[in-house]
Amino acid sequence: MSKQGVLLVNLGTPDSPSVKDVRRYLDEFLMDERVIDIPQLNRTLLVKGIIVPFRGPKSAKIYKKVWSEKGSPLLYYTKLMTDLLQAQLGEEYQVEMGMRYQNPSIQSALDKLKAADVKSIRVIPLFPQYASASTGSVHQKVMEIVSKWQAIPDISFLNSFHDEPGMIDVFAANALKYKPETFDHILFSFHGLPQRQLIKTDNSKSHCLQSADCCSALTDVNKFCYSAQCHHTARLLAAKLNIPKEKYTISFQSRLGKNPWVKPYTTEVIDELGKAGTKSLLVFSPAFVADCLETLYEITEEYGLEFKALGGERLQLVESLNDNPAWINVLEKLVKQ
Ligand SMILES: C=CC1=C(C)c2cc3[nH]c(cc4nc(cc5[nH]c(cc1n2)c(C)c5CCC(=O)O)C(CCC(=O)O)=C4C)c(C)c3C=C
Ligand SMILES: [Fe+2]
Ligand SMILES: [Fe+2]
């Protein structure tokens, strides 16, 4: 009997931490019109003329720090998730993984599902909160490839799982190990996004960034707003762990370029907290389901040093979902729902 196909997709990472491979990765990633959403000529000049040549060597240095004998953490954990999910789902399913940028590609994963003549494909972009630059880009890529097939099976696309109770439980359980109540403050630091990309997903064109607190409630109007979904994830985590409002902050990291990104920026929040005398900080990074450069370097190293330079004593990252068996159960639920 033909199997049900499952395609897990993560962002992607360089093939190695060499400058050449990092440059090739940045080129493919940042030339995506959903990521740097400016006219093509400007994007080409910016990416190929400035970012790839100058950022490439800097990024490569950082990738070398997080690379282990198992390779890039993002790829390593995504592969583990795929294998564990396959084992859990059994023979009725075929689970493949693809990376939106670089390898293994979405094309190679879909080729395998096609060769297996699967009767359906469940596409799960591994981003809890929807953004056109992440989930939207994965959906577009899959549609581009499959649209060329003669026999197109049933396909379903997961939009987001920012409020999935099982996912909230796993992040909360990971945090409990560190006794959140013993920290002065809790930070929910999400990957950033240019503000204009929030506005573009507001189909009503009358809500996003029209008021200071437009993202503080998730409603039908802002259901595709990345920032509103991030706020919602953070509120669910805070409620689960009984963290009072005044003890946590939601922020956005990894800004690139000069245009405004979603605020507040993590670096500025850490600056304020440090200057206000905060000594211990527990940091969640719930925009990622796998530890990666952003959590293992940017939060742990970069923000850790920034916090300590301001008098902070302890910055602790809550690890991501990675190969946690409870997370694999959540993935199974997302496949079957
Ligand atoms: C939540 C998912 C992500 C969104 C949305 C996203 C948007 C986005 N990112 C950049 C630029 C960079 N991101 C980089 C790394 C990176 N980004 C994500 C996820 C999202 N990005 C992940 C999981 C990672 C880590 C990958 C890894 O290999 O571990 C990088 C590369 C690292 C660096 O040089 O800093 C860049 C550049 C933009 C412009 C953007 C805008 C929409
Ligand atoms: Fe990114
Ligand atoms: Fe919004």
pLDDT digits (tens, 9 = 90+) for 215-263: 888 888 889 999 999 999 999 999 999 999 999 999 999 889 889 999 9
Whether residue 249 sits in one domain with residue 267: yes
This prediction's pTM: 0.97
Q: Ligand 1 atom 37: the closest Cα is on which residue?
A: 26
Q: Ligand 1 atom 22: the closest Cα is on which residue?
A: 11
Task: Assess whether the C-beta atom of 85 lies below 6 angstroms from ligand 1.
Answer: no
Whether residue 188 sits in one domain with residue 144: no
| CA-CA-CA-CA torsion sign (164, 82, 73, 318) | positive
Write out the residue range of the structural domain in which residue 59 sits: 4-161+325-336
Number of Cβ atoms within 10 Å of the Cβ of 148: 7
Distance 72 CA to ligand 3 centre (A): 32
Distance 239 CA to ligand 2 centre (A): 27
Whether residue 179 sits in one domain with residue 154: no
Whether residue 26 sits in one domain with residue 116: yes
User: Tell me, what's the pLDDT at 7?
Assistant: 99
Q: Is 248 helix (H, G, I), strand (E, B) or coil?
A: strand
Whether residue 128 sits in one domain with residue 111: yes
Which token pair is 63? 């990738």
Whether residue 208 sits in one domain with residue 98: no
Whether residue 173 sits in one domain with residue 74: no
Whether residue 198 sits in one domain with residue 237: yes
User: Tell me, what's the pLDDT at 220?
Assistant: 87
Count of domains in the chain? 2
Task: Assess whether the C-beta atom of 289 lies below 6 angstroms from ligand 1.
Answer: no
All residues with CB under 5 Å from ion ligand 3: 208, 214-215, 222, 225, 227-228
Query: Which of 8, 9, 11 for mutating ligand 1's site (highest number of atoms within 8 Å of CB)?
Result: 11
Distance 118 CA to ligand 2 centre (A): 32
pLDDT digits (tens, 9 = 90+) for 148-195: 999 999 999 999 999 999 999 999 999 999 999 999 999 999 999 999
Whether residue 143 sits in one domain with residue 212: no
Residues of the chain with pLDDT under 50: none
What's CA 160's distance to the chain center, in Å? 11
Scanning the structure block, which residue is given the tokens 């920012």? 162
Task: Assess whether the C-beta atom of 35 lies below 6 angstroms from ligand 1.
Answer: yes
Whether residue 203 sits in one domain with residue 76: no
Whether residue 212 sits in one domain with residue 95: no
Rg (CA), the chain: 20
CATH number for the domain that contains residue 200: 3.40.50.1400
User: Tell me, what's the pLDDT at 203?
Assistant: 82
Report d(CA 118, CA 153) in Å as an integer: 7
User: Tell me, what's the pLDDT at 254?
Assistant: 86
User: Tell me, what's the pLDDT at 213?
Assistant: 81
Task: Assess whether the C-beta atom of 292 lies below 6 angstroms from ligand 1.
Answer: yes
Task: Assess whether the C-beta atom of 285 lies below 6 angstroms from ligand 1.
Answer: no
Would you give the DSSP letter of residue 220?
A: S
Task: Assess whether the C-beta atom of 133 lies below 6 angstroms from ligand 1.
Answer: yes
Strand extents, DSSP E, the chain: 4-12, 93-101, 120-125, 154-157, 185-191, 248-253, 280-284, 314-317
Whether residue 140 sits in one domain with residue 14: yes
Nearest to 136 by CA among 68, 200, 89: 200
User: Tell me, what's the pLDDT at 1?
Assistant: 84
